[in-house]
């Protein structure tokens, strides 16, 4: 097992969310875990990290259909096409790439450019940003569920970018970042995300940046976040393979 503290902490986080341990010798473990937090209730959750993968399913019937996923390499089990070859799929969330940083690896944005304001969670100014960004992007950022303060950039009479985090399992800070479409490409995600990550590290939490789109992944990498795995959620469709 790795002695690098970052993947060790990430591994413990996902095991807690899945209520299932990673297979100790690598490979893929398919397990019935109706309380899994890897995915919405009733879905199949997949996380692959460090040469091992967990697949949680809600019941024995789904498990019977999903067992063939255990024959896939761990790095392939979060591939949507590979899953479709085993299970009928109704809907998919992801795949997303979770990345993590530590006090030693974090590369914060220097303060002051741009100025990042600290707002209380649930601040009313967030609503205008979410409306401008659209339902899909706002839902993915999940800032309404933030348990931390919000870290925001103001311009044009409102908030044009914001970041915050939700505490997971009492150990990780799941960071969400949202930028208004007209203000993207100006480093605002890095600036607000940096403030959120610094706050999480000061609280002794493991900052997590889970991203799908390349721009978000680049912002995380610039801050010293290291990609450690892949995560996917699948709603099984009717029928059998």
Can you tell me the distance from the alpha carbon of 164 to that of 48, in angstroms, rounded to the nearest whole number?
A: 25
* Cβ atoms within 10 Å of 91's Cβ, excluding its own: 11
Q: How high is the pLDDT of residue 212?
A: 87
CB atoms within 10 A of CB 134: 13
Rounded to an integer, the average pLDDT of 209-226 is 94
The beta strand positions in 89-212, using DSSP E, are 89-100, 117-119, 150-155, 158-168, 172-179, 206-211
12: enclosing H helix or E strand: helix 5-18
110, with CB counted inside 10 A (0-12, 13-18, 19+), is: exposed
Does residue 2 register a pLDDT over 70? no
- Give me the chain's average pLDDT, please: 92
Question: At CA 184, angle to CA 106 and CA 198, rounded to 5?
Answer: 20
Binned at pLDDT 50, 70 and 90, residue 239 comes out as: low
**Is pLDDT of 87 > 90?**
no
- Average pLDDT on 24-38 reads 93
Say which residues have a Cβ less than 8 Å from residue 48's Cβ, sequence separation at least 6: 74, 75, 77, 78, 229, 230, 231
Question: Model confidence over 133-154: pLDDT tens digits?
Answer: 999 899 889 998 999 999 999 9
How buried is residue 77: exposed, middle or buried, by Cβ count under 10 Å (0-12/13-18/19+)? Answer: buried
Q: How far apart are CA 69 and CA 217, in angstroms?
A: 27
Residue 121 or 13, more confident: 13
In contact, 113 and 85? CB cutoff 8 Å = no
Q: Name the residue with higher pLDDT: 198 or 75.
A: 198
On the question of a cis peptide bond just before residue 68, with omega within 30 degrees of 0, the verdict is no
Counting Cβ atoms within 10 Å, is residue 209 exposed (0-12), middle (13-18) or buried (19+)? buried
The two three-digit tokens of residue 107, written as one number: 């590369």
Residue range 172-187: mean pLDDT, rounded: 95
Average pLDDT over residues 106-113: 88
For residue 228, which of 5, 2, 3, 7 has the smallest C-alpha distance?
7
Please, where in the chain does CATH 3.40.630.30 lie?
A: 117-224
Instruction: Report, at the CATH architecture level, how domain 117-224 is classified.
Output: 3-Layer(aba) Sandwich (3.40)
Residue whose tokens read 């339902």: 135
Residue 7 pLDDT: 93
Q: Is the pLDDT of residue 30 over 80?
A: yes
């Amino acid at each position: 097992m790795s002695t690098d503290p970052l993947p060790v902490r990430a591994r413990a986080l996902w095991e807690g969310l899945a209520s299932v341990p990673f297979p100790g010798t690598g490979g893929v473990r398919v397990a019935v875990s109706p309380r899994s937090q890897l995915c919405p209730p009733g879905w199949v959750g997949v996380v692959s990290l460090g040469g091992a993968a967990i697949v949680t399913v809600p019941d024995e019937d789904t498990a019977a259909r999903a067992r063939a996923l255990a024959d896939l390499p761990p790095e392939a089990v979060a591939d949507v096409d590979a899953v479709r070859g085993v299970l009928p799929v109704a809907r998919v969330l992801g795949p997303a790439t979770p990345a993590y940083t530590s006090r030693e690896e974090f590369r914060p944005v220097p303060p002051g450019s741009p100025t990042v304001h600290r707002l209380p969670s649930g601040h009313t100014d967030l609503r205008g940003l979410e409306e401008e960004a659209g339902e899909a992007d706002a839902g993915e950022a999940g800032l309404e569920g933030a348990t931390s303060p919000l870290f925001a950039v103001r311009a044009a009479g409102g908030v044009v970018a914001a970041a915050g985090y939700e505490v997971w399992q009492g150990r990780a800070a799941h960071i969400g970042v949202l930028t208004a479409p007209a203000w993207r490409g100006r480093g605002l995600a890095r600036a607000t995300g940096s403030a959120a990550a610094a706050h999480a590290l000061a609280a002794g939490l493991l900052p997590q940046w889970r991203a799908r789109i390349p721009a978000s992944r680049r912002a995380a990498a610039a801050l010293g976040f290291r990609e450690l795995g892949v995560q996917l959620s699948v709603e099984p469709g009717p029928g059998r393979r």
